[in-house]
Amino acid sequence: MEDENQATEQEYAFHSDLLHQFTVIPSVDKAWLFNSHAGLASQAMFCVSQPNLLTNKRKKSILSASLLRQSDGTVAFHWAPFPIELSGVSAMVPSPSASKLLIVRNPENEGPCRFEIWSSSQLEKEFHVPQSKHGSVYTDGWFEGISWNLNETCIAYAAEEPAPAKPTFNDLGGYQKRSSSDKDGGTWKAQGEWEEEWGETYAGKRQPALFVIDITSGEVQAVKGIDKSLSVGQVVWAPAIEGSVQYLVFVGWSFETRKLGIKYCYNRPCAIYAVKAPHHESKANETETYSTEDVQAVNLTQTLSSAFFPRFSPDGKFLVFVSARSSVDSGAHSATDSLHRMDWPEDMKLYQSSKIHEVIPVVLFAEDGSFPGLYCSNILSDPWLIDGQTLVIASVWHSNQVLLSINVLSGEILRITPDNSNFSWSLLTLDGNNILAVSSSPVDVPQIKYGAIVKNTTNDKEWSWSDVSNPIFKCSDKVWSSVSSLTSNIMKISVKDASESLTKGASQPYEAIFVSSKTKKSDACDPLIVILHGGPHSVLLSSFSRPLAYLSSVGYSLLIVNYRGSVGFGEEALQSLPGKVGSQDVNDVLTAIDHVIDLGLASPSKIAVLGGSHGGFLTTHLIGQAPEKFVAAAARNPVCNLALMVGTTDIPDWCYVETYGTEGRDKFTEAPSAADLTLFYSKSPISHLSKAKTPTLFLLGAQDLRVPISTGLQYARALREKGVPTKVIVFPNDVHGIERPQSDFESYLNIAIWFNKYCK
């Protein structure tokens, strides 16, 4: 409150107006290309979202374009005059032939889940699936899987299991055996037994299970043969075999005594299974049946601790998937992926014996800019180029995200987006040998790119990328002129005091992205904000970030440090951090800061630090371990006390692994010993609190299950007790990400004003 009074109304007005102009720049969430390799004309559809501060939700819309191939080979996009708002839509999935479109509308409360089937001109069918059949369809990007069968008669998907019946009592306290719907009143439902959930962002979500809807009759069947204890998702149809029952392939996650948090955590064991799909009408020539006895799901990837994102080749001859086995086996929540292929036998009965080939192994370290390993967070539902054996994938490569083409038979990996650039790319869709992607840098607003192969011989493929002029990323003149005055580059930072005991990968340079004004207004440097990602096995990419671009446009240089342990730099560098958190990562950040000071790019007396989660752990460590270095700090849901967090977080195993290293995976217990708690405390920012004196802003989500609010609050109160200026903003309805539009806006507005107060 005091700060609000001190910051002038003009300052708030100026900042909220400018931040708003950055905030409302839309994003493209998904896109589809139809028919682009067939003729001269094709179509594209873009699903666009934009934060809406008044409703505190993201507004979603669809914008279409016609693509016309010009005589010179280029493609012109003709955009529809306006986007159409998509209201209440949870998922949309075109059928393989693009003649039908599925729209799913999940219920807001106890209502049915609605499935709509659209043709090119109208709504063809609408089915309401009651809660007694299943709850909401999963659209979380992880369990999510909505898949049309090839002849477009059925759709398989993951949805919440129906709610278990709860004990019911009448008004006299009498137990009623039957779980009535209480139509006549006079009864009440007890809570029933508590069930484990998958933690952060899955609160209140029931177990994901598989269903198939027949889009002619609307009949919905639960898929049988799946162990009740498995959480399942990412379902796809196996290639159809004439006259035979169809199979579904899906991912299953099991758990032992407890479901540990799964969001951002690729270290949860999972496997790919095959199971017979229910059939909806009996066909005379179908020899196989669908009874519970012979439909038991079969684990296809027993030899791997992790397998997900199953994708069949267009000819149905092989199945490709990603594995995070290095993450599961080491206990690190995210690590270097591997890519695998298994041949898909024509005789379904042989699939269990199919050999798994490793297409891309886990890369330990890479020299001289060569491929650092696979780090992919998604694969398109149809990722294949025309040859049917090369897939296109987005993967983190140092501080950039790039697009790779991977020939899954030869193992050839090509970086198909321009290298030596400060840009990051995300993949929207592909059709034939044409790609729609988005490219941006910290100082370049996103740009839609159209990619096509211009040279295609066995040994030589060349891609051309053209800018697609589009109305989506139009931004205000103010934003445009602000970002035009900025520049960014990626710096290599040498490891300080590299010792013999370090692995080769851990001795290689890490990176920091430096963003600053193109021109120096005076002799003095602009104040610097050091920005630190969470995880710690995550990365801050060289892509356009609306709030960070806002901070640089109000007069700050940014130093975004991808310290060792970040993804994108090979497995050895990543695995060098667990066991050394609070020291190796802290020192990497301090080295990066010294690097820019030594280059004369930052003034040592005007440095602020900002980080969330593990980045908040580093922020609060830095103000304790290097109290003279920072004039202001801001921490979003920071890990300040591992000894407190371990008892309340959804990922207590993370506290063990990051504190002890990989041995922490086996040490993990729900009942930490006194020795564990002592070590957790000593590795935590709270153990350096007595030295901290930096004014600090705390942004805390009260619904955070990952880093519960108590750890940030405890540290903030302790700083206050010492007389250090602190400000705490609690967002009552936010989870770990603090991403709801109003909360995100209020956070960055306050960060800028807090830093202005102490840095300028």
Ligand X SMILES: CC(=O)N[C@@H](C)C(=O)N[C@@H](C)C(=O)O
Asked whether position 534 contacts ligand X by CB under 6 A, the answer is: yes
Residue from the set 272, 406, 707, 719 that interacts with ligand X by CB under 6 A: 707
Residue from the set 206, 259, 333, 580 that interacts with ligand X by CB under 6 A: 333
In this complex, which beta carbon is closest to ligand X, that of residue 26 or of residue 612? 612
In this complex, which beta carbon is closest to ligand X, that of residue 320 or of residue 529? 529
Asked whether position 538 contacts ligand X by CB under 6 A, the answer is: yes
Asked whether position 613 contacts ligand X by CB under 6 A, the answer is: yes
Which of these ranges, 286-294, 531-539, 580-588, 626-634, lies near ligand X under the rule CB under 6 A? 531-539
Residue 210, both tokens = 């598989």
What is the nearest approach in angstroms of ligand X to the Cβ of residue 264?
A: 4
In this complex, which beta carbon is closest to ligand X, that of residue 445 or of residue 645? 645
Beta-bridge partner residues of 92: 103
Vertex 503: Cα angle to 502 and 509 (nearest 5): 85
How far is residue 325 from each of residues 304, 329, 496, 605, measured CA to CA in Å?
A: 7, 6, 31, 45
Asked whether position 724 contacts ligand X by CB under 6 A, the answer is: no
In this complex, which beta carbon is closest to ligand X, that of residue 570 or of residue 611? 611
Asked whether position 621 contacts ligand X by CB under 6 A, the answer is: no
In this complex, which beta carbon is closest to ligand X, that of residue 129 or of residue 265? 265
Which of these ranges, 225-233, 296-304, 305-313, 532-540, lies near ligand X under the rule CB under 6 A? 532-540
What is the nearest approach in angstroms of ligand X to the Cβ of residue 705?
A: 10
In this complex, which beta carbon is closest to ligand X, that of residue 545 or of residue 613? 613
Binding to ligand X, residues 373-432 (CB under 6 A): none
> Which own/partner contact pairs does 710-717 have at CB distance under 8 Å and 24+ positions apart?
710/644, 710/648, 711/638, 711/639, 711/640, 711/641, 711/644, 711/645, 712/616, 712/635, 712/637, 712/638, 712/640, 714/640, 714/641, 714/644, 714/686, 715/620, 715/638, 715/640, 715/641, 715/685, 715/686, 715/689
Asked whether position 143 contacts ligand X by CB under 6 A, the answer is: no
Q: What is the DSSP string of 289-322?
A: ---GGG---EES-TTSS--EEEEE-TTSSEEEEE
Active-site annotation holder among 614, 736, 743, 744: 736
Q: What is the DSSP string of 156-208?
A: EEEEEPPPPPPPEEETTS-EESS----TTS-EEE----------TT-TTPPPE
Asked whether position 535 contacts ligand X by CB under 6 A, the answer is: yes
Q: Which amino acid is at 436?
A: L
Residue from the set 15, 325, 706, 757 that interacts with ligand X by CB under 6 A: 706
Q: What is the DSSP letter of 324?
A: -
What is the nearest approach in angstroms of ligand X to the Cβ of residue 751?
A: 16
The number of residues making up the chain comes to 760
Asked whether position 614 contacts ligand X by CB under 6 A, the answer is: yes
What is the nearest approach in angstroms of ligand X to the Cβ of residue 547?
A: 14
Provide the pairing of β-strand 632-636 with 607-612.
parallel
298: left (phi over 0), alpha (psi -120 to 50) or beta: beta
What is the nearest approach in angstroms of ligand X to the Cβ of residue 659?
A: 12
| 322 burial level (CB within 10 Å; 0-12, 13-18, 19+) | buried
Active-site annotation holder among 337, 650, 704, 734: 704
In this complex, which beta carbon is closest to ligand X, that of residue 250 or of residue 698? 698
Which of these ranges, 94-102, 294-302, 312-320, 530-538, lies near ligand X under the rule CB under 6 A? 530-538
In this complex, which beta carbon is closest to ligand X, that of residue 538 or of residue 747? 538
234: left (phi over 0), alpha (psi -120 to 50) or beta: left
Site string for ligand X, 645-684 (x = CB under 6 A): ------x--x------------------------------
What is the nearest approach in angstroms of ligand X to the Cβ of residue 611?
A: 9
What is the nearest approach in angstroms of ligand X to the Cβ of residue 399?
A: 16
Residue from the set 446, 612, 638, 701 that interacts with ligand X by CB under 6 A: 612
# chain residues binding ligand X, by CB under 6 A: 15
In this complex, which beta carbon is closest to ligand X, that of residue 291 or of residue 733? 733
Vertex 618: Cα angle to 547 and 680 (nearest 5): 140
The span from the CA of 251 to the CA of 262, in Å, is: 14
The span from the CA of 474 to the CA of 472, in Å, is: 6
What is the nearest approach in angstroms of ligand X to the Cβ of residue 142?
A: 13
Which of these ranges, 10-18, 141-149, 404-412, 606-614, lies near ligand X under the rule CB under 6 A? 606-614
Contact 621, 688 (CB under 8 A): yes
Q: Is residue 704 annotated as part of the catalytic site, yes or no?
A: yes
What is the nearest approach in angstroms of ligand X to the Cβ of residue 530?
A: 16
What is the nearest approach in angstroms of ligand X to the Cβ of residue 244?
A: 43
Give the closest residue to 124 by CA, choosing from 116, 136, 132: 116
Give the closest residue to 103 by CA, choosing from 123, 131, 81: 123
Which of these ranges, 123-131, 374-382, 609-617, 739-747, lies near ligand X under the rule CB under 6 A? 609-617
Provide the pairing of β-strand 434-441 with 424-431.
antiparallel
How far is residue 609 from each of residues 67, 703, 708, measured CA to CA in Å?
A: 46, 25, 21
Chain CA centroid to CA 154, Å: 29
Assign 45 to helix, strand or coil. strand
In 3-state terms the chain splits into helix, strand, coil percentages (rounded to 5) of 20, 30, 50
Q: Which amino acid is at 561?
A: V
In this complex, which beta carbon is closest to ligand X, that of residue 115 or of residue 264? 264
Residue from the set 398, 595, 736, 740 that interacts with ligand X by CB under 6 A: 736
What is the nearest approach in angstroms of ligand X to the Cβ of residue 639?
A: 5
Binding to ligand X, residues 225-284 (CB under 6 A): 264-265
The span from the CA of 177 to the CA of 376, in Å, is: 50
In this complex, which beta carbon is closest to ligand X, that of residue 614 or of residue 629? 614
What is the nearest approach in angstroms of ligand X to the Cβ of residue 643?
A: 15
Give the closest residue to 211 by CA, choosing from 151, 322, 87, 127: 127
Asked whether position 325 contacts ligand X by CB under 6 A, the answer is: no
Number of neighbouring beta carbons within 10 Å of residue 732: 10
Asked whether position 641 contacts ligand X by CB under 6 A, the answer is: no
In this complex, which beta carbon is closest to ligand X, that of residue 75 or of residue 396? 396
Give the closest residue to 356 by CA, choosing from 370, 368, 372, 344: 344
Which of these ranges, 361-369, 399-407, 479-487, 610-618, lies near ligand X under the rule CB under 6 A? 610-618
Residue from the set 592, 639, 692, 697 that interacts with ligand X by CB under 6 A: 639
Give catalytic residue positions: 613, 704, 736
Question: Which residues bind to ligand X, rule: CB under 6 A?
Answer: 264-265, 333, 534-535, 538, 612-614, 639, 651, 654, 706-707, 736
